[in-house]
């Protein structure tokens, strides 16, 4: 999976995936990319979905897994504002917008 990372001035890492998270393969690749970032000791990640159009339960499951993992280790998982319209609807319907903190660049 193509993922771009960028460290912010305030210590967060912005993670931008470039593939939709709609199947096991893409979600597993996303998981490997995030795990490699966390293994470097990063505890505050911002997911920036502006380059993807679709996400389903495969992707949501991975995101929730990392949310829990980061929370348990004293970290935080954010979503970049604004979310693409389709992703926003999914996050709203699943109340994920109530769980994740919003990061505004």
Confidence at residue 101, expressed as pLDDT on a 0 to 100 scale = 93
| CB neighbour list of residue 72: distance below 8 Å, 6 or more residues apart | none
Q: State the pLDDT at residue 1.
A: 61
* CA 54/CA 11 separation, integer angstroms: 28
Short-list 63, 57, 55, 62, CA closest to 85: 55
In tens digits, what is the pLDDT along the chain, a chain of 105 residues?
689 999 999 999 999 999 999 999 999 999 999 999 999 999 999 999 999 999 999 999 999 999 999 999 999 999 999 999 999 999 999 999 899 999 987
Report angle CA 40, 44, 50 to the nearest 5 degrees. Answer: 105
Tell me, what's the pLDDT at 71? 96
**What are the structural domain ranges in the chain?**
3-103
CATH H-level superfamily of 3-103: STAS domain (3.30.750.24)
Q: Tell me the backbone φ, ψ of residue 36, rounded to 5 degrees.
A: -65, -35
pTM of the model: 0.92
């Amino acid at each position: 999976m193509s993922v771009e990372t960028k460290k912010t001035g305030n210590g967060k890492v912005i993670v931008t995936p470039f593939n939709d998270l709609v199947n096991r393969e893409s979600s597993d690749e996303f998981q490997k990319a995030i795990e490699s970032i966390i293994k470097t000791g990063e505890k505050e990640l911002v997911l920036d979905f502006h380059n993807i159009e679709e996400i389903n339960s495969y992707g949501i499951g991975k995101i929730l897994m990392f949310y829990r993992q980061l929370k348990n280790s004293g970290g935080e998982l954010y979503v970049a504002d604004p979310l693409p319209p389709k992703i926003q609807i999914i996050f709203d319907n699943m109340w994920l917008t109530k769980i994740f903190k919003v990061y505004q660049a």
